[in-house]
Amino acid sequence: MTTEAPAEARGRTRRSRGDSRRGDSVFFNLSRGSGVLLLVIMAAIAGFLAYRSALALSKNQGNFLTTFEWTPDAVTPVFGIAVLTFGTLVSALIAMLIAVPVSVGIALFISHYAPRRIAQPFAYLVDLLAAVPSIVYGLWGVLFLVPHMDGLTSWMDQYLGWTYIFDQSSKGVPARNLFTVGILLAIMVLPIITAVTREVFRQVPRMHEEAALALGATRWEMIRTSVLPFGRPGIISASMLGLGRALGETIAVATVLSTNNKLSLHLLDPGGGTFAQNIALKFNEAQPFGRDALMASGLVLFVITLLVNGAARMIIARRKEYSGAAA
């Protein structure tokens, strides 16, 4: 019996190892298949958009990149993305300039400054804001934010009008402009950036923080030398998530922005447009050729999103020494 028991134990060990190896193999194949499926889906989307875009661009009588007008269903179809590109990039840039610093500050407050009894409810509130539907933000923006922007826009026109971009040429009109849209988008993306950044800051090795404090660093010096370098890739990734929503936001922008085909560097004047907002407003009323034109603008937004995410990956790859995997 003494010789059979170890033999049975060895048999069970071999069987368990065999099951484990089969499980690893199945999981590996499923993971690889999921990755390949994702690439196939993205390629299918890009191919569909490229095909429909080619149909539209072949009959376009204007320059697609520089034309301000958008009349693809006219007898002479003329359409371009100059106004849409400018509006999309400018509103997203304003949103990120406002949201990223505020989000990092809130994340630091929750993870390193606030007492636990305050940090927990505050974190739940931030997560709850991320789940608010876009239409709610849009209604809040048009009913509350726009009327209360008059004082701020007047102040900026008076004291910052010399910068030209804050020179308000249309005075006394509701602030349904790209600047207001940028502020609204900043409020919308702030919970997403904050939630991701907060979790990254919580992953900072405790030994790094304690070592900095033991060497005589203040709390801010510890954060500057230990927390922020470690969390920089996470901050970049969170910002890209927020930027993706800002670039593709539809309903809230369509509710707040007063659209036209005029490209103006006066950000406080009404007007402008974005890719997503233009597609949402004109898709139902567009004819088949007009929908192909909208697909062409959607392809440009698709390419912009890929370029932004690719740039973010390159930035993170250059700073691998600060990633969590390297800690």
* H helix or E strand, kind and range, residue 92: helix 82-108
Q: pLDDT value at position 104? A: 94
- Extract the runs of DSSP E, i.e. beta strands, from the chain: 70-71, 78-79
Q: At what angle do helices 4-57 and 288-317 cross, to 10 degrees?
A: 130
DSSP assigned state of 78: E
Calculate the alpha carbon distances from 137 to 187, 189, 249 in Å.
9, 11, 11
* H helix or E strand, kind and range, residue 54: helix 4-57
Q: pLDDT tens digits, residue range 129-156?
A: 888 888 999 999 999 999 999 888 889 8
Give the end-to-end CA distance of the chain in Å, rounded to a whole number: 50
Could you tell me the pLDDT band of residue 1, with boundaries at 50, 70 and 90?
Answer: very low
Which value, to the nearest 10 degrees, does the dihedral of the CA atoms of residues 157, 189, 129, 152 take? 0
Is 90 exceeded by the pLDDT of residue 74?
Answer: no
What is the pLDDT of the chain when averaged over all its residues?
A: 85
Q: pLDDT tens digits, residue range 183-238?
A: 999 999 999 999 999 989 988 888 888 888 888 888 888 999 889 888 888 898 89
Q: pLDDT value at position 323? A: 46
Residues across the chain: 327
Cα angle for residues 253, 93, 83 (degrees, 5° grid): 60
Q: At what angle do helices 82-108 and 228-248 cross, to 10 degrees?
A: 140
As given in the structure block, the two tokens for residue 318 are 């250059």
